[in-house]
Amino acid sequence: MASISHRAQKLPASPIRKLGPYADAAKARGIRVHHLNIGQPDVATPRGMIEAYQSYDEKVLAYGPSQGLPGLRSAIANYFVKLGIKLEPDHVNVTFGGSEAVGFAFSAVTDPGDEILTTEPFYANYLGFAASTGVTITSVPARADHAFHLPSDAELEAAITPKTKAMIVCSPNNPTGTVYTKEEMERLGKICEKHDLYLISDEVYREFAYGETPTSALSLPCAHDRVIVVDSVSKRFSACGARVGCVIAKNPILLNVFMRMCFARLCPATVDQIAAIAAYDTPQSYFDDVVAEYTRRRDALVKGLNSIKGVSAPMPEGAFYLVTTLPVDDADEFAKWLLTDFNHEKETVMIAPASGFYSHAELGKHQARIAYVLEVPQLLRSVELLRIALDQYPGRRA
């Protein structure tokens, strides 16, 4: 029988989704599962966006321009202009979510066998795009006791090889919630200049910052030739199902490549883009309310986790995740056990073991990613369930 490709064999299973069948089985047994494992915000999508779907009324749902609707490219550029960044609609190519944008970026700057450097833990799906494009993700560990902030220049530069073509960073970070300071972003820009690397900056969580304002890589001096920004409406507007993102660059050679990539898959979805245009009209008060709500959740969650003996969780500065250290032999086993063997009054929690967010999986063996996309009372109950579960878990360690 014909074999499948080597690259297909390397495609990882999703660390976030692989526990799904166990959760389904738990639910089938009548157990309520509190989902701390997923990045699906529960806040309402802006009403104007929903109404844009409802107002769609064309005779023919036709192809749009390959690079995206002009109105959306303008809306995205204007959004950055308001942040003080000079950007033209022509710098923006609309994609199928941030996911396609990551794939475009990887494919544009690497050939099979090349490397992209990041810090770990990192967003697990980068590994999927790496497998598809034949790229190796190399990574420098970020330390939990430094709240996962940027390792030193020396550590990062030691990991750069002749095959390294780019760095990819995500700030605010999935899975750690870390927001890089302006100085950290500038350090990254300088390292990329020094070693002639592209800087792929995943900024989909920009709106979710609870202290320092995130610095866009587009504001760096090297932005005009080596920065590629990945962005999305998914998290910003709680519209993950719209699957509208973009890849942004100022370098005309990169823009030409992205244009041809856009041509090759014809165009993004038309109605979702119309809805996204409406989303960019969302008033600032929407974001103010969202940030206030997530700040309350973060504070409650971090306080609760750190009150459990043996658990430590750094205070994240952004996004809606954190990576916590757990007093367990193996977080993968613990996460599974929570669904298969544990319940307290017919309730349990689902967490994402951190091993899947590491190149060196063993570094995440005692860690889990917790998303705080639930309201405070449910988060507090989840923390309580974790506390009870850790008391009962046979693989608990001191």
Determine which residue in the list 59, 145, 283, 285 makes contact with a copy of itself, applying CB under 8 A.
59
Q: Residue 328 forms beta bridges with which residues?
A: 396
Neighbouring C-beta atoms of residue 271, cutoff 10 Å: 15
Instruction: Give, as ranges, the residues between 7 and 26 that touch a copy of itself (CB under 8 A).
Output: 7-8, 11-14, 17
- Among 28, 30, 60, 162, the residue binding a copy of itself under the rule CB under 8 A is 60
Q: What are the tokens at 390? A: 């850790």
Beta carbons of 203 and 217 less than 8 angstroms apart: yes
CA distance 81 to 248: 13
Choice between 229 and 390, CB closer to a copy of itself: 229
Q: Which residues are bridge partners to 321 per DSSP? A: 371
Q: Which of 54, 145, 284, 362 binds a copy of itself (CB under 8 A)?
A: 54
The nearer residue to a copy of itself, 265 or 397, going by C-beta atoms, is: 265
Question: Among 21, 24, 56, 391, which residue interacts with a copy of itself (rule: CB under 8 A)?
Answer: 56
Least CB distance from residue 358 to a copy of itself, whole Å?
17
The correct pick among 138, 181, 219, 270 for binding a copy of itself (CB under 8 A) is: 270
With H, G, I as helix, E, B as strand and everything else as coil, classify residue 150: coil
Residues numbered 175 to 204 that lie near a copy of itself (CB under 8 A) are: 196-198
Using the rule CB under 8 A, give the single segment among 33-41, 142-150, 304-312, 315-323 that binds a copy of itself: 33-41
> In the chain, where do the E strands start and end?
32-35, 92-96, 115-120, 136-141, 164-170, 198-202, 227-232, 244-249, 321-325, 347-350, 352-353, 367-371
State the burial class of residue 283 (Cβ atoms within 10 Å of its Cβ: 0-12, 13-18, 19+).
exposed
H or E stretch at 127 = helix 125-133
Assess 271 for contact with a copy of itself (CB under 8 A). Answer: yes
Selected from 178, 238, 325, 359, the binder of a copy of itself by CB under 8 A is 238
Task: Report the residue number, 131 or 338, with the smaller CB distance to a copy of itself.
Answer: 131
Q: Is 244 helix (H, G, I), strand (E, B) or coil?
A: strand
Task: Considering the complex, state which of residue 112 and residue 283 has its C-beta at the smaller distance from a copy of itself.
Answer: 112
Q: Which of 48, 68, 97, 214 binds a copy of itself (CB under 8 A)?
A: 97
Closest CA to 203 of 225, 175, 242, 174: 174
What tokens does 313 get?
Answer: 């969780």
Of residues 315-354, which lie at the interface with a copy of itself (CB under 8 A)? none
Classify strands 227-232 and 244-249 as parallel, antiparallel or unpaired. Answer: antiparallel
Shortest distance in whole angstroms from residue 237 CB to a copy of itself: 8
Which CB sits closer to a copy of itself, 139 or 343? Answer: 139
Which C-beta is closer to a copy of itself: that of 232 or that of 343? 232
Return phi, psi of residue 122, to 5°.
-140, 165
CB of 333 to a copy of itself, least distance (A): 22
Contacts (Cβ under 8 Å, ≥6 apart) of 252: none
Of the two residues 40 and 378, which places its CB atom closer to a copy of itself in the complex? Answer: 40
Binding range to a copy of itself, per CB under 8 A, among 79-87, 149-157, 233-241, 306-314: 233-241
* Cβ 117 vs Cβ 138: under 8 Å: yes
Of 98-137, binders to a copy of itself (CB under 8 A) are: 99-100, 103, 107-112, 114, 125, 128-129, 131-132, 134
Nearest distance from residue 162's CB to a copy of itself, in Å? 13
Query: What residue spans of 227-375 are helical by DSSP H?
Result: 252-264, 270-279, 284-306, 331-340
Using DSSP, state whether 163 is helix, strand or coil. coil
